[in-house]
């Protein structure tokens, strides 16, 4: 291998241009500073044959004009070891929990093609979460993707944390928390909660939060996907990957595309929006060795469900839990909008006839409730027929029934958390509908 050298010739924000002589690393491969190998540049493109446009991943100030760089002969990679469990790492797979670095005999690039087998021929398997509204309206099915969609402050993060808490109790499952572009504090809180409850070892946290560069925020999902694939294929685990927030991934990729000089497309988003998302989403799937189930919080900018990025994300999921501001304001937690929450997985083949029929009945009543509420607001309850009154009362009981105290909010609300089996949930609904 010829010793090759490069020199940084210009810098604009996170983007720098490197004049190379000798080897030309392929896009996505790394260059390192000659006098500090801990500082990485990732090659993005070649504007001219010997000028590499690179991204200063961490925004390091050591990246200066004139600095010498050399190829690292590889891409960013994760250590292939179960030691990642119980740890909090950044997009470069470096610890951010104060613990020792994680090393391994082998490393896996963070850029992998999706596994060829995607849930084909596998019998759908339900995963219980203990949260009534989730197990009922959007049951988790092994290897599938669930979205938690809602505007600012409606409870996406709290619901995600509760799901991790409940799932991690299960002996056979691992939960990964992937923080993208959200508050740093929330990651700390989750880490503490998991530690206090003795389930940290069943989890793994990968963070690229809002203080990080767009490059680190855009990469963290891929780093997490490689770790999940390792745990699935080598450790043969069922892995649940919780992403908070997938919208921030799109946003980070968009910021990055803008700084590299790509033209924006629809709604100001990058033209590669679809492929950026697909590249990540398709990796979060099952293989013959184990499964990856993805749960993705989706922020809705300005409460606008028709945002092109939100639409694109939602289309790639099997079901979405819609959290609504109106429901949250009425004090109901979790603030699930029972009319707009839909799941393609609620079918007789997957959940069984009993569950399927109950969901259809409940959704019909809740739809009726929405229109009756408007009528009552105008002309009062006395104008309703007997049947309408019965349904109205049932709807109120249903709303009360799906209200649930969470374990992760015990310190906040002073109320003890509750776990319900799927059977308890179905029976509870049946009792209301009798
Ligand atoms: N299940 C719940 N029980 C009690 N309080 C809740 C619950 N869910 C949400 N809250 C309250 O609402 C606040 C906002 O919730 P959360 O941080 O989960 O919203 P979010 O949808 O993630 O918001 P953002 O888009 O800003 O990240 C919480 O700090 C908490 O006070
Ligand atoms: Mg949040």
The 10s digit of each residue's pLDDT in 226-244 is 999 999 999 999 999 999 9
Location of structure tokens 């009543």: 365
Among all bound ligands, the one having the nearest atom to the CA of 155 is 1
Q: Mark whether 156 is an active-site residue.
A: yes
pLDDT in tens, 329-357: 999 999 999 999 989 999 999 999 999 99
Measured distance CA(79)–CA(77) in Å, rounded: 7
- Closest C-alpha residue for ligand 1 atom 23: 153
133 has pLDDT over 50: yes
Q: Model confidence at 274, in pLDDT bands (50, 70, 90)?
A: confident
Mean predicted lDDT score pLDDT of the chain: 92
Tokens of 369: 């409730």
The distance from CA 128 to its chain's CA centroid, rounded to whole angstroms, is 19
From residue 411, how far is each of 178, 224, 289, 406 by CA, in Å?
A: 23, 30, 39, 10
Measured distance CA(405)–CA(331) in Å, rounded: 12
Tokens of 327: 């429901």
Q: How far is the CA of 157 from the centre of ligand 1 (A)?
A: 6
User: Which residues have any ligand 1 atom within 6 Å of their CB?
Assistant: 150, 152-158, 182, 299, 333-334, 406, 409, 412-413
Element (DSSP H or E) covering residue 232: helix 214-233
Burial class (CB in 10 A: 0-12, 13-18, 19+), 236: exposed
Q: Mark whether 422 is an active-site residue.
A: no
Please state the rounded mean pLDDT for residues 191-214: 94
Catalytic residue among 7, 19, 24, 183: 183
Parallel, antiparallel, or unpaired: how do β-strands 173-180 and 238-244 relate? Answer: parallel
- Closest C-alpha residue for ligand 1 atom 25: 152
pLDDT at 384: 86
Q: Which of 109-123, 255-269, 298-312 has the highest mean pLDDT?
A: 298-312
pLDDT in tens, 363-411: 999 999 999 988 888 888 888 899 999 999 999 999 999 999 999 999 9
- Closest C-alpha residue for ligand 1 atom 10: 155
pLDDT over 90, % of the chain: 81
The structure's pTM equals 0.94
Q: When comparing pLDDT for 50 and 266, which is higher?
A: 50
Closest CA to 156 of 342, 297, 295, 294: 297
pLDDT in tens, 289-302: 889 999 999 999 88
């Amino acid at each position: 291998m010829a010793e090759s050298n490069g020199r940084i010739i210009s810098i604009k924000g996170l983007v720098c241009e490197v004049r190379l002589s000798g080897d030309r690393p392929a896009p996505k491969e790394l260059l390192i500073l000659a006098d500090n190998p801990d500082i990485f540049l990732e090659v993005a493109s070649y504007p001219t044959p010997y000028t590499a446009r690179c991204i200063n991943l961490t925004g390091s100030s050591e990246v200066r004009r004139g600095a010498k760089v050399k190829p690292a002969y590889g891409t960013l990679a994760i250590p292939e070891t179960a030691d990642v469990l119980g740890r909090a790492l950044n997009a470069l797979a470096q610890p951010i929990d104060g613990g020792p670095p994680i090393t391994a005999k082998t490393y896996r690039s963070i850029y992998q093609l999706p596994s060829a087998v995607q849930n084909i021929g596998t019998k759908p398997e339900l995963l219980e979460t203990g949260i009534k509204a989730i197990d009922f309206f959007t049951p988790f099915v092994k290897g599938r993707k669930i979205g938690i969609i809602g505007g600012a402050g409606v409870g996406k993060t709290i619901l995600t944390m509760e799901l991790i808490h409940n799932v991690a109790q299960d002996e056979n499952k691992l939960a990964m928390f992937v923080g993208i572009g959200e508050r740093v504090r929330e990651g700390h809180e989750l880490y503490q909660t998991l530690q206090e409850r003795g389930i940290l070892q069943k989890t793994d946290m990968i963070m690229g939060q809002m203080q990080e560069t767009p490059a680190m925020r855009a990469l963290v999902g891929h780093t997490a996907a490689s770790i999940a694939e390792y745990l699935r294929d080598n450790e043969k685990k069922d892995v649940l990957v919780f992403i908070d927030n997938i919208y921030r991934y799109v946003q980070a990729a968009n910021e990055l595309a803008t700084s590299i000089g790509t033209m924006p497309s629809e709604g100001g988003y990058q033209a590669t929006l679809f492929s950026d998302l697909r590249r990540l989403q398709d990796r979060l799937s099952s293989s013959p060795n184990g499964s990856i189930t993805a749960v993705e919080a989706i922020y809705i900018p300005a409460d606008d469900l028709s945002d092109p990025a939100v639409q694109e994300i939602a289309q790639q999921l099997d079901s979405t839990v819609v959290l609504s501001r109106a429901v949250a304001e009425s004090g109901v937690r979790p603030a699930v909008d029972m009319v707009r929450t839909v799941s393609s997985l609620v079918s007789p083949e997957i959940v069984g006839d009993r569950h399927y029929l109950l969901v259809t009945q409940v959704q019909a009543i809740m739809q009726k409730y929405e229109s009756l509420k408007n009528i009552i607001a105008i002309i009062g309850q006395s104008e309703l027929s007997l049947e309408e009154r019965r349904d109205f009362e049932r709807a109120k009981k249903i709303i009360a029934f799906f209200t649930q105290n969470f374990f992760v909010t015990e310190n906040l609300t002073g109320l003890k958390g509750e776990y319900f089996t799927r059977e308890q949930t179905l029976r509870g609904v049946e009792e209301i509908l009798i």
